[in-house]
Chains A and B, each alone.
Chain A
Amino acid sequence: MILKYNTIKYLTLTTSMFVIMGCSSDEKQTVTTMNQLVMQDEFDEDGAPNSTYWSYNIGTGSNGWGNNELQYYTDRPENVVVEDGMLKITARRELYMGSNYTSARILTKGKVEQKYGRIEARIKLPLGQGLWPAFWMLGSDIDEVGWPACGEIDIMEYLGNNPTTVLGTVHGPGYSAGESISKSYTLPNSRFDTDFHIFGIEWGEDYINYYIDDVLYNQITPEDVPGEWVFDQPFYIILNMAVGGNLPGSPNAETAFPQTMLVDYIRIYQ
């Protein structure tokens, strides 16, 4: 009898607690669990990107960086600069070193290389057919094993002619390029070129969770890839904006230049 009374009291209490919690107005999906900040670039100091973290890819790579991209990457402030509390990567239509467009691609290779963790950036994207900005990572053993064996994690990939959609993807051996493992997310009532949005992954052993703002939209695990899971080693970060190429196609008459990708911050948590 006494036990039953206590049980009922306990039930009442916990039920009430559940009901109270259920009435809270802060109902949000839990998308991030790692909150210990280990690296950040808030892009607060005007000038070139901080060389402690960033170096540059210059030129056209091999066949437009493997994608028939049209731009020549430079390290000029016209194409990459930090000002107004943001990193600004700007694509321009101009004749330069034999290319018709210039832009920038910066990377943390050899400077910031991270295995697992929550890697996040707050970005506002441009508009226009042919623009191809990305926030992504490559395995740090790329010089030894090459691509795609090193692995590639595309945290955010965007095509300028589709301003409400981004892609989250992995490439690896047996599942690269056209065979990559990818998922798109479309904003229901906003756009990526009119507001800043938060793009990130939470990455651990045997999983990579992709999130945009407060929505977890993709999870990739070893079961999802038809090949070796190569994401148990350090990766470095790349920020760039390509112009034209196999995926986006070329800019058209409506694409207005210059166009800028704005990055408010990059943060890494564990």
Chain B
Amino acid sequence: MKNLKFNCLAGFLLLSTIVIINTSCERELSDDATEATFPKVAEIFIEDFVGMGSNFYFPYGGSKPTAWSVDREEGYNSNVSMRFDVPNANDAEGNYAGAIFRIDGAGRNLTEFDALTFYVKASQGVTISEFGFGEDFDQNKYMATITNVSVGTNWSKVIIPIPDASKLLQEKGMFRYAAGTQGTNGMAYTFWIDDLKFEKLGTIRTIGAAIMNGNNASVNTFVGVNSNITGIISTFNLPNGQNQIVNLSTAYFEFTSSNPAVASVDSNGLVTSLSAGTTVITATINGVQASGSLTINCSGNFTHAPTPTRNQANVISIFSDAYNNVPVNYYNGYWAPWQTTVSSDFTVANDNILNYTIFNFVGIEFSAPTVNANSMTHFHLDAFIPGSIAPGRQLRVIVVDFGADGAFGGGDDTRHSTTFTAPFLVSQNWMSIDIPFSAMPGLASRSNLAQIILEGGDGSVIYVDNVYFYN
């Protein structure tokens, strides 16, 4: 009796000692356990969607809206996955598949992750155009995309490195894709995605970012002209030792103008020229310099062509900000093999200017439809030559009519060329050219006017504005 009681007591003591010690080994809640951040949820789709809300799939315009579904037979180590049926190129409901997955609710804090990963396989070997994240049809601020992803017929893991997770405090754009049939001769195929989630792999190395594709580019501008930072990429080395290039949005970068008085650059990489001079635009990401730069050579204030004063009712306009323009096929036909002229059109204070560089000759065409100028009496064009004019220099202005067939050739085309030389031809000043149709006898008709051709270039630059017919 005594023994039993004693044994029970001892046993109880032993047990309670263990219990006490066990509970006293529990960690206490840390002081920052109740930090108020957005949810740090990693999973997007595993066996089902996680934390996406109910209305989260938004297809792109022109894509087949029903391309996506949930497959309850296929899966990576499961039997559930997302299924994407990329349509035939002639599918009336949309000729490609593409959409964003945007959280229906609060965005996520992704600062502790370093990659978006998923498993993918396809019904045949294909190249998927784009996979990425960060597009929310709102600001689309922190987009990152990998392109031309090779997908086979068995499951393989895709890793999209996050360029700078510290910026992703509240992200709704979880995933995006675009897939077409350019590589499958227009024939439909299927691909599946499973285990879509953010991860902290720790096995990705940042190799380096670049703007302007790593080149030191330069551009000539005027005060008020905008330039864009393009060619924005970042290269990462994946855990398998392969490099992965990520196309990313400007918001990941901090931009700097070496001479802010010459040009400013905003957080979106939009450069605005402010005064004459030179500045170099560079960028850093996550504190590390990106390779490449954009040098702005600003010539100062731009002299605009005289503003047209005629009434719209008296004008058929090909190119002018003062009038409604007729449909134009092109402002530069790039007529191979002899044309050297390259267009570098710019806009200054909402005034659009045609800028022909390396100018030898160039054609402007407006043949769909052609222009009936029977009620017009003159042709007008403003031209500006910034460089010097050599002795004997000509500028020839040719007006072309396509004839009754309304098409190039056919034996019914006519044209007239008017030649301008010094003293009319000057540099550094707008020249207003007005040619009456009565002075263009080579034009047998003006019912189907279709082209303006400029000739006599010396390989330098000419600006053109306010191209129109009038009466």
* Contact indicator per residue, chain A 236-259, by CB within 8 Å of chain B (1) or not (0): 000000000000000000100000
Task: Please state if A189 and B202 are interface contacts (CB–CB under 8 Å).
Answer: yes
Q: Which of A4-12, A89-97, A213-221 contacts B (4 or more CB under 8 A)?
A: A4-12
B261 within 8 A of A: no
* Band of interface residues on A: 20 to 34
Q: Check if B201 sits within 8 Å of A5, measured CB to CB.
A: no
A129 in contact with B241 (CB, 8 Å)? yes
What residues of chain B lie closer than 8 Å to A163, measured between beta carbons? 203, 205, 237, 239, 241
Is the pair A8, B14 in contact by a Cβ cutoff of 8 Å? Answer: yes
Is B13's CB within 8 Å of the partner chain A? Answer: yes
Query: Please, which residues of chain B bring their CB within 8 A of the CB of A129?
Result: 241
Given A189-B200, A190-B203, residue A20 in contact with residue B21 (CB < 8 A)? yes
Partner of B22, one of A4, A19, A161, A194: A19
Chain B proximity of A24: nearest CB distance (Å):
9
Say yes or no: B237 contacts A12, CB within 8 Å: no
Nearest CB of A to B281, in Å: 26
A21 to chain B, nearest CB (A): 10
CB distance from A233 to the nearest CB of B (A): 37
CB of A3 closer than 8 Å to a CB of B: no
Of all chain B residues, which has the CB nearest A7? B10
Residue on B with the closest CB to A25? Answer: B27
In the assembled complex, the CB of A44 is this many whole angstroms from the nearest CB of chain B, namely 28
- A40 is an interface residue with CB less than 8 A from chain B: no
Q: Could you list some 11 contacts between A and B, CB below 8 A?
A: A4-B6, A4-B10, A5-B6, A5-B10, A12-B13, A23-B22, A23-B25, A163-B237, A163-B241, A191-B203, A191-B205
Separation in Å of the B466 CB from the closest CB of chain A?
51
Chain A's closest residue to B27 (CB) is: A25
The closest CB in chain A to the CB of B239 belongs to: A164
Binding site for A on B (CB under 8 A): 3, 6-7, 10-11, 13-14, 17-18, 21-22, 24-25, 200-203, 205, 237, 239-241, 243
Interchain nearest-CB distance for A131 vs B (Å): 11
Given contacts A129-B241, A254-B243, whether A15 and B18 have CB atoms under 8 Å apart is yes
Question: Complex formed: what's the CA distance from A268 to B3 in Å?
Answer: 59
**Which residues of chain A come closer than 8 Å to B237, judged between CB atoms?**
127, 163, 193
* B11 neighbours in A (Cβ, 8 Å): 8
Q: Which of A1-38 contact B (CB under 8 A)?
A: 1, 4-5, 8, 11-12, 15-16, 19-20, 22-23
**Chain A residues with Cβ under 8 A from B205's Cβ?**
127, 163, 191, 193-194
Chain A residues touching B, majority SS: loop
Chain B residues, Cβ within 8 Å of A12: 10, 13-14, 17
Contact assessment for B25 and A190 in the assembled complex, using a CB-CB cutoff below 8 Å: no
Beta-carbon contact of A1 and B3 below 8 Å: yes
A55 beta carbon closer than 8 Å to chain B: no
Give the one of B13, B201, B202 with max A CB within 10 A: B202
Please determine whether B14 and A162 come into contact, CB atoms closer than 8 angstroms. no
Q: Given contacts A191-B205, A194-B205, is CB(A162)–CB(B17) below 8 Å?
A: no
Contacts of A254 in B (CB 8 A): 243
Cβ of A187 < 8 Å from any Cβ of B?
yes
- Complex CA–CA separation, A228 to B241 (angstroms): 37
CB-defined interface of A135-166 with B at 8 Å, one 1/0 digit per residue? 00000000000000000000000001111100
| B21–A19 touching, CB < 8 Å | yes
The answer to whether A189 and B201 touch across the interface, beta carbons within 8 angstroms, is yes
| Complex CA distance for A96 and B22, rounded to whole angstroms | 67
Q: Is the CB of A4 within 8 A of B241?
A: no
Closest A residue to B25 by beta carbon equals A23
Could you tell me the distance between the alpha carbons of A64 and B403 in the complex, rounded to whole angstroms? Answer: 77
Is B6 in contact with A191, judged by CB distance below 8 angstroms? Answer: no
Closest-by-CB residue of B relative to A1 is B3
| A193 and chain B: residue at smallest CB distance | B205
Kindly state the separation between the CA atoms of A187 and B14 in the bound complex, as whole angstroms.
42
Say yes or no: A162 contacts B241, CB within 8 Å. Answer: yes
B202 touches A15 (CB 8 A): no
A164 and B24 alpha carbons, distance in the complex (Å): 39
Task: Answer whether A23 and B21 are a contact pair too, CB < 8 Å, given A11-B14, A163-B205, A187-B203.
Answer: yes
Closest 6 pairs (CB-CB, A-B):
A23-B25, A189-B202, A8-B10, A161-B241, A19-B21, A12-B14
Chain B residues in 8 Å Cβ range of A187:
203
**Beta-carbon nearest neighbor of A159 in chain B:** B241
Looking across the interface, which residue of chain B has its beta carbon closest to that of A23? Answer: B25
